[in-house]
Structure 1
Amino acid sequence: MRKVLREQGLSIVFALLFVFALLGQSFAGLGVHNENQRAHGASPIGYWEFVTSSNFVVDVAENWQSEFLQFFVFILATIWLIQRGSPESKKPGDQGPGSDQDQLVGRFARSRSPAWAKVSGWRRVLYSNSLLLVMGGVFVVSWWLQSVSGVVVYNADQLAHGQKSVTWLGYVTSADFWDRTLQNWQSEFLAVGSMVTLSIFLRQRGSAESKPVGTPHAETSTEGE
């Protein structure tokens, strides 16, 4: 158990942080929702009813889709684009998907390489792009959940104010939907851009996301090794 905790510590810690944060959001959200219910003369609801409601789902999905979009775009961009001096970038001249030898696929695969890296055809193509496909898939599903739950919440608010409800298409083309969506996207792109740029000049000793403290600013990735 101690070895597992030591070797898998990063994923375990972030999984626990995710669970605790999601639980905290659910209880805080329930409190806010029930305060609004009382303020409008309606009855408060229970925890399970809230976490299965569109109000909770839209907030969760709204954040998930922006996070996975961030990683999808970043993974795709770093195939072809570089940032000289950033540890988040490949070395200048290494743009592109790389050769089979660089990627250790086909006849260049090692004995411990994943099975689908050793074969050819659609399995290698699928596995070679599996990270991007999964990130993109989660983004699309989260975006769809946000839109479906969001239209329910939006229409409930419309009816409460004596206004007409809208269709799903009407909602995803509305200002309300894109206001909620783009305010998350811009913050994610700012965060990634800041990390890429600031890591050129700033350091964090011991972090895999930083170059060694004494590495020259212009040195990209591990080009000096």
Structure 2
Amino acid sequence: MRRRLRDNGLSIAFLTIFLLTLAGQSLVGLAFTNEQLEQHQQPAVGYLDFITSSDFLVDVAENWQSEFLQFFLFILATIWLVQRGSPESKKPGDEGIGEEADQLIGGHARSDSPAWARLRGIRLWIYSNSLLMVMGSIFLLSWFAQSLAGRIVASEENAEHGYPPVTWLEYIVSPEFWNRTLQNWQSEFLAVGAMVVFSIYLRQRGSSESKPVGAPHSESSIESE
């Protein structure tokens, strides 16, 4: 058990942090919602009612879709684009999907390689692009969930002011929807770009996201190995 915890420490730590922050968001979100209801002299809602509400779902899905869009685009971009000196990038000249020998696929697969790496045709193509496909799928599902929940919230707000409900198509082309969406996207792209550039010149000893402390600025971590 101790070895399993050690070998999976990074994923366990971030899963724990995620669950704690999601729980925290639900609690403070409930408190904020009930404050708003009290100001309008309306009855408070319970915890289960809140976490199954469109208000909570739209806030959660809004952040999820921007995060997975960030990873989807970054994975896609790093296939063909490079940044000299950044450990987040391949070295110049290594652009592209790589040779079969480098990717350990087909006849170059090792005895401990995943079974699908030894295959050919559509199954090998699917496995070769599975990370990008999963990240993209989660982004699209989160974006769709955000749009559905956001439409309900917008329609409820319209009802309070005597306006008709909005359709899904009306909502996804509305300034409100894209204002919420682009607020998250721009921050994610800024964070990725900053990580790529900062990691050229700055170091963190012991982190796999950093080059060795003494590596030249112009070299990636791969070139330094």
Which letter maps to 2:70? Answer: Q
Asked if 1:146 corresponds to 2:151, the answer is: no
CA distance in 2, matches of 1:34, 1:224: 56
2:212–2:221 Cα contact (<8 Å) kept: no
Deviates more, 1:7-16 or 1:160-169: 160-169
The answer for the alignment partner of 2:116 in structure 1 is: 116
The answer for the alignment partner of 1:28 in structure 2 is: 28
- 5 Å-filtered alignment, 1:36-185, equals 36-185=36-185
CA distance in 2, matches of 1:125, 1:18: 32
Q: Which secondary structure does the structure 1 equivalent of 2:76 belong to? A: helix
Q: Which secondary structure does the structure 1 equivalent of 2:207 belong to? A: coil
Encode CA deviations 1:164-191: one digit per residue, 9 max, x unaligned.
3211000000000000000000000000
* TM-score normalised by structure 2 residue count: 0.99
Shift of 1:163: 2.1
CA RMSD, 1 decimal: 0.7
Shift of 1:162: 2.0
CA distance in 1, matches of 2:60, 2:134: 18
Shift of 1:16: 0.3
Encode CA deviations 1:113-143: one digit per residue, 9 max, x unaligned.
0000001011100000000000000000000
Which letter maps to 2:117? Answer: A
Encode CA deviations 1:65-112: one digit per residue, 9 max, x unaligned.
000000000000000000000000001100000011110000000000
Encode CA deviations 1:194-217: one digit per residue, 9 max, x unaligned.
000000000001000000110000
CA distance in 2, matches of 1:13, 1:148: 31
Shift of 1:218: 0.4
The answer for the alignment partner of 1:213 in structure 2 is: 213
2:26–2:51 Cα contact (<8 Å) kept: yes
1:92–1:220 Cα contact (<8 Å) kept: no
2:210–2:221 Cα contact (<8 Å) kept: no
CA distance in 2, matches of 1:158, 1:201: 51
CA distance in 2, matches of 1:223, 1:5: 31
* TM-score normalised by structure 1 residue count: 0.99
CA distance in 2, matches of 1:175, 1:221: 43
Shift of 1:220: 1.9
Shift of 1:150: 0.3
1:30–1:50 Cα contact (<8 Å) kept: yes
Structure 2: unaligned runs, 5 residues or longer? none
CA distance in 2, matches of 1:191, 1:137: 22
Structure 1: unaligned runs, 5 residues or longer? none
Shift of 1:224: 3.0
Question: How many residues are treated as equivalent by the alignment?
Answer: 225
CA distance in 2, matches of 1:86, 1:166: 46
Structure 1 runs (4+) greater than 4 angstroms displaced: none
